[in-house]
Amino acid sequence: MSLLTILEFPDPRLRKKAALVQTVDDALRETLDNMIETMYEAEGIGLAATQVDVHKRMLVIDVSEERNNPQIFINPEITVLDPEPLGHEEGCLSVPGFYELVSRPCKVKINALDRDGEAFEQEAEGILAVCIQHEVDHLDGKLFVDYISTLKRQRIKSKLEKEHRQHKTAASA
Cis peptide before 10 (omega within 30 of 0): yes
Residue 131, contacted partner among Ni ion, ligand GNR, none, CB below 5-8 A by kind:
ligand GNR
Q: How far is the CB of 64 from ligand GNR (least distance, A)?
A: 13
User: What separation in angstroms does the CA of 109 have from each of 43, 57, 82, 112, 158?
Assistant: 25, 17, 10, 10, 36
Cα angle for residues 58, 60, 64 (degrees, 5° grid):
155
Q: Using only C-alpha atoms, what is the Rg of the chain? A: 16
Query: Could you tell me whether strands 46-48 and 71-90 are parallel, antiparallel, or unpaired per DSSP bridges?
Result: unpaired
Which of 138, 145, 156, 160 touches ligand GNR (CB under 6 A)? 138
Any contact of residue 134 with ligand GNR (CB under 6 A)? yes
Cβ-closest position to ligand GNR: 44
End-to-end Cα distance, the chain = 31
Residue 14, contacted partner among Ni ion, ligand GNR, none, CB below 5-8 A by kind:
none
Residues between 40 and 99 that touch ligand GNR (CB under 6 A): 44-48, 51, 88, 90-94
Any contact of residue 130 with ligand GNR (CB under 6 A)? yes
**Candidate list 65, 135, 161, 163, residue with the active-site label:** 135
Closest CA to 8 of 92, 93, 94: 94
User: Cα separation of 51 and 126, whole Å?
Assistant: 23
Nearer to ligand GNR, 25 or 41 (CB): 41
Based on the residue annotation, tell me whether 77 is a catalytic residue of this protein. Answer: no
User: Cα separation of 135 and 75, whole Å?
Assistant: 12
Nearer to Ni ion, 70 or 117 (CB): 70
Nearer to Ni ion, 78 or 92 (CB): 92
Q: Which residues bind ligand GNR (CB under 6 A)?
A: 44-48, 51, 88, 90-94, 130-131, 134-135, 138
Active site residues: 135
